[in-house]
Amino acid sequence: MNKRNLNIDLIKILACFFVVALHTQRNYQLELIHNPILYYISRCAVPLFLMVNGYLLLKKEKIDYKYVLHKTKNILLVIVFWTLAYVILDSIRKKGITNVLSIFLGTFTQDGALAHLWFFWALIIIYIILPILYKFKIFDNKNKFRNVIILILSISVIIDIIFNYMYVKYNTNILENIPQCFRIWIWFLYFFMGGYYSRYIQNNITIKKNIIITTILTIISFVYQYQLFVKISFTINSEYIYGNLIIILWVISIFNLLNSIKIEGYRFKRIIEYLSNYIMGIYILHPMIINILNLSYHEKGPLYAIVMWICAIVISLVCSIIISKIPKVKQFIRI
């Protein structure tokens, strides 16, 4: 049996908590960011999730379409189950019939109450392409693997430069009409970087240097996002910057730092193991809980928003624990 990697579990936990922060620290109706520091620092969440998936999956010696079909079936069952669950609950709440097709399609097009499930569609697309890459032994050859990453990195940076130019010069967002699950060049980049890390990278940088590097890049990343989206373009959503070189280096530094931490202490290890089991449940449930309880709809400032963030995490965790005790349902908070 493989020894559990608690560092990867820690990255998953922090990435999930950051995702919840993204959804509690902003409100599109009010056109308001409650806590800009927490919101923009949390932007590393999705790339970290992709790196973790790549780190774990690309360790495998073989991935074929039998495996892909199994994973895809599980993901689709999760999407369908929560679509139906939401439609039933929303129909009861509104005392009318909620359109199940629009909710389901919204998981794909990143629209509506379950828009956050776009991430699962992005994983499906990645899974479908992986067997082809395995056939050509891309991942078994360090140089081939590195060259693929450099190619995708170049594409991502070029697109980001064009995006920035159009955004600043003409106030035109060239990525706005591309649902996130289709921005696949970015997701492959982070997914492959996670896989390359697991296969070929030895973290020889001291923890002190890792902390210094990550702190500097975190400050730069925050300032960059804040200036671009608040001061220049007057918008609040910074989901379009994942292909930026600054952000890429920042995410790598966070992943490297968290992967280099020495996790000690029985109680701390147990907490990480325990929380890690409910990460997917928290991810799936938290937007519904935020919407039902209106946790992001307020104008009470950054400290209150932090409290709402913690409440969303705790309530989502409790709901995930309860669901995990139900035999026929617990499979739908895992993929």
The pLDDT score that the predictor gives to residue 235 is: 81
Compute the C-alpha angle 228/233/238, nearest 5°.
55
Q: What are phi and psi of 26, to 5 degrees?
A: -140, 160
**pTM across the whole model:** 0.95
Reported as a pLDDT band with limits 50, 70 and 90, residue 2 is low
Contact 204, 171 (CB under 8 A): no
Closest to 113 measured CA to CA, from 287, 285, 279, 280 = 287
Whether the pLDDT of residue 1 is over 50: the answer is: no
- Each residue of 266-297: pLDDT tens digit? 999 999 999 999 999 999 999 999 988 999 99
> H or E segment at 4?
none
Q: What are phi and psi of 287, to 5 degrees?
A: -65, -35
- Each residue of 153-195: pLDDT tens digit? 999 999 999 999 998 888 889 998 899 999 999 999 999 999 9
Contact 121, 206 (CB under 8 A): no
Contact 11, 259 (CB under 8 A): yes
The span from the CA of 323 to the CA of 332, in Å, is: 9
Contact 177, 207 (CB under 8 A): no
Domain ranges of the chain: 6-333
- Each residue of 82-134: pLDDT tens digit? 999 999 988 888 778 888 999 999 999 988 889 999 999 999 999 999 999 99
Q: What share of the chain is helix, strand, coil (3-state, %, to 5)?
A: 75, 0, 25
